[in-house]
Amino acid sequence: MKELRRLLGLLSWRMAGVFGLGLFSGAVLGCSTQDTAVAKASSGELFAVSAAQTSFYRFGPQQGYGPDESLPKDTLMALIRPSFGYCKVQLLDGDKEGYVAAEDIKPAPATLLASLEVPVRNASVTRRGSARENFDVRSSEPPPPETLPNPDLPPVAVEPSPL
């Protein structure tokens, strides 16, 4: 009798494990998303508003005061970071960065790109005109040498500290 109870206990644990594994695999397979053009896009690719209009949020869709502006159809933007719900973009006119709904933008058609005259910008200068330092944190190159004082100047005298 004890052996029968133990056998039924083992079977119930095994069945619970199989059932749990089935639920987990069903959840993983059922939650797979379709590949969209926004998800496949690389950073910096040009996109355009495909809806009649879309909301533009400077700090994100959960900012407390609603959208900053409404973008009309065919507004061009560079994709900075693709995401599932909202994508971070940079508007080409005005250099504003913000967020738009991923479902409202599509890759820019060739007709819009042909009519676009892209200004040449210096990559080392930011929007405010200050020099930007570009470096790769994972670089294996040694750092640049530090600037040395002019050898024609006399050495700086160090005064002894009072005891």
pLDDT tens-digit map of 76-91: 999 988 888 999 999 9
Between residues 136 and 15, the one the model is more confident about: 136
pLDDT in tens, 26-46: 555 554 443 444 434 444 579
Q: How far apart are CA 26 and CA 19, in angstroms?
A: 10
For the chain, what percent of residues have pLDDT higher than 70? 60
Kindly tell me if the per-residue pLDDT of 99 is higher than 60.
yes
pLDDT reported for residue 152: 79
Q: Long-range contacts of range 60-68, CB-CB < 8 Å, 24 or more positions apart?
A: 60/86, 60/99, 61/85, 61/86, 61/99, 61/101, 68/98
pLDDT reported for residue 34: 39
Structural domains of the chain ordered from first start: 37-115 (2.30.30.40)
Q: How far apart are CA 132 and CA 120, in angstroms?
A: 17
The 3 state secondary structure assigned to the chain is CHHHHHHHHHHHHHHHHHHHHHHHHHHHHHCCCCCCHHHHCCCCCEEEECCCEEEEECCCCCCCCCCCEEEECCCEEEEEECCCCEEEEEECCCCCEEEEEHHHEEECCHHHHHHCCCCCCCCCECCCCCECCCCCCCCCCCCCCCCCCCCCCCCCCCCCCCC
Kindly tell me if the per-residue pLDDT of 25 is higher than 80.
no
Q: How many CB atoms lie within 10 A of CB 41?
A: 18
pLDDT reported for residue 14: 63
The overall pTM is greater than 0.85? no
Check if the beta carbon of residue 89 is closer than 8 Å to that of residue 97. yes
pLDDT reported for residue 163: 72
